[in-house]
Amino acid sequence: MANTQLFASSRGRLLPAADAGNEAGGSAYRLPAPARLAQYLMTGTLNGTFYADAAAQLDALLGLAEEVDAEFLARAAIYARQRGYMKDVPALIAAILTRKDSRLARIVFERVIDNGRMLRNFVQIVRSGRTGRKSLGTAPKRLVQRWLEQADDRRLLNASVGNQPSLADIVKMMHPRPADATREAFYGWLIGKSVDESRLPEIVRAFEAFKRGEGAMPDAEFRLLTGAPLSTAQWTDIALRAPWQMTRMNLNTFARHGVFGGEADEVVARRLCDPEAIRRARAYPYQLLVAHAQAVPEVPAVVKLALQDALDASLANVPELPGRTWVLVDVSGSMGSPVTGYRRGATTAVRCVDVAGLIAAAVLRRNPLAGVIAFDTAARMLDLNPRDSVATNTGRTAAQLGGGTAVSSAFALLNREAAQGDTVILVSDNQSWADTGRGPTETMRQWEAFRQRNRDARLACIDLQPYGTVQAAPRDDVLHVGGFSDAVFDLLASFAAGQMGADFWIKEIDEVKLEEAHGANADGTASD
């Protein structure tokens, strides 16, 4: 008789053996190249993460860009910018495409290089030589020249904020062709030439007069204006007409300069919770959470309440999921790393665990019977009140941070409790190492055991860091989606409803239409 311990009958599907090692040294599954590229595009910021430095991320992205076809590369870049609100990586793909396919490069450039910061990113990346060009050749130069020539005066003035390279550097390199004497004077002014001020555009003349203290404050970029000393009335004027992102980022600055206590209170509050303004600003839900948490006491209550309303509005597409839902939140030590990576002088205070906690709190708000489990090397049920604010439940979940990583521990807890469920949402960086063994990952074993009790259950894995490996192998009941914008909720709703399988995310990207924008972004509504 054969050894029954070695040849015991297995239940459920035959599970695939792990085919990769992750950054933490654990066994894992490697995502297919298109899915890895999409994960990098939606979570990568070309900054260092807990397990990988910025150079390693860049090398991985450059390699993936050669593995996938140019059309998928183009669609993924547009998706990452327009749905994921990413900056550096879409600009990188636009630069890569100038070498691979000039037609697609033009389409992607028009769709993702939609403000001054993106233009500077693109030029800096091309000039670095990392994408296969040592300088801006004919095709990239023509794209940048066209951007400069089509930008209106206000947009061009606002784009002059920032450096490395500055807009002046770009104008000097590109030699754009001025359409008239006014634009010729404007280009000269940008690069520091002495020009006849009467020939400058009206907004630039107003800016120059304002700097001399001779005129009213122009309707220009906030960072241009604050180079000069401003009165309380002038700060109030800025607050009354500031765009959404600038308002969110400068509430404490406004308070410090005496803006609040009058008309600005209601104006700022209405702006912050305007759903359309939130959409145009491409706001991450976690940005509102942080703004609320960091608001000083001098920020009036009506504004703080508006931030909470804005957070709810930014989570409007969190789905009501059918049946029983479980949210599994990774609170291991690596989740304490900044969600957009380490960057000298510009590292965000928002950690991966904060975003994971926010996702769990948002799902719980819309699905009050959902269960939330926090895990590191051990898992525990969290007692969260779905009627508490999203901010409160986010904080309670994030407070669990610490320990090693065993993703399987959360699934093992569900199995020990003989839990029933229809949708399981895993939010993690997928760097599990404490549960490593041979054959399939322990997470895959535990998920299959859960599926034996819950035949129609589906697992949605939200990846917050771009490592390219996962703990659950992609298949028809397992979806992997990356990112920390609200785009993940749209995918989650369709997947939980059984509309699509494991390749749903890739199909979503494949549906991006590759058509030229023809100036569709000329209004400059995208935020820097």
**Domain CATH number, residue 474:** 3.40.50.410
* 339 domain residue, yes or no: yes
* 290 domain residue, yes or no: no
* 446 domain residue, yes or no: yes
* 134 domain residue, yes or no: no
**20: helix, coil or strand?**
strand
* 482 domain residue, yes or no: yes
- Owning domain of residue 485: 20-26+320-510
- What confidence tens digit (pLDDT) does each residue in 482-520 have? 877 767 787 787 777 776 566 777 888 898 999 875 544
The token pair at 8 is 């015991």
Task: List the chain pLDDT tens, one digit each, 528 residues.
Answer: 455 444 444 454 689 999 998 888 899 999 888 888 888 888 766 655 554 567 777 888 888 889 999 999 999 999 889 888 888 889 999 999 999 999 999 999 999 999 999 999 999 999 888 888 777 888 899 999 999 999 999 999 989 888 889 999 999 999 999 999 999 999 999 999 999 999 999 999 998 888 887 877 788 777 787 766 788 988 998 899 888 988 998 999 999 999 999 999 999 999 999 988 888 887 778 788 888 888 899 999 999 999 988 888 877 768 888 899 999 999 999 999 887 766 565 566 778 899 899 999 999 998 999 999 999 999 999 999 999 988 889 999 999 998 999 999 999 999 999 999 999 999 998 889 999 988 999 999 999 999 999 999 999 999 888 788 899 998 889 988 887 776 778 778 777 777 656 677 788 889 899 987 554 443 333 444
- What confidence tens digit (pLDDT) does each residue in 333-371 have? 999 988 776 656 556 677 889 989 999 999 999 899 999
* 452 domain residue, yes or no: yes
The token pair at 49 is 């993460």
Do the strands 371-375 and 379-382 form a parallel or antiparallel pair, or are they unpaired? antiparallel
CB-based contact 470:29 (threshold 8 Å): yes
What is the chain's Cα-based Rg? 25
* 465 domain residue, yes or no: yes
Determine how many CB atoms are found less than 10 A away from the CB of residue 349.
10
* 14 domain residue, yes or no: no
Can you name the residues that pair with 237 across neighbouring β-strands?
none
Count, residues in the chain = 528
The total of structural domains in the chain comes to 1
User: What are the start-end ranges of the H helices in 217-314?
Assistant: 222-225, 232-241, 244-249, 251-256, 263-272, 275-280, 285-294, 301-314
The C-alpha atoms of residue 308 and residue 389 are separated, in whole angstroms, by 8
The C-alpha atoms of residue 53 and residue 36 are separated, in whole angstroms, by 17
Determine how many CB atoms are found less than 10 A away from the CB of residue 499.
9
From residue 315, give the alpha-carbon distance in Å to each of 41, 134, 363, 371, 490.
Answer: 22, 43, 9, 19, 11
Can you name the residues that pair with 20 across neighbouring β-strands?
28
User: What are the strands of the beta sheet with 325-330, ordered from one edge?
Assistant: 379-382, 371-375, 325-330, 423-428, 458-463, 478-482
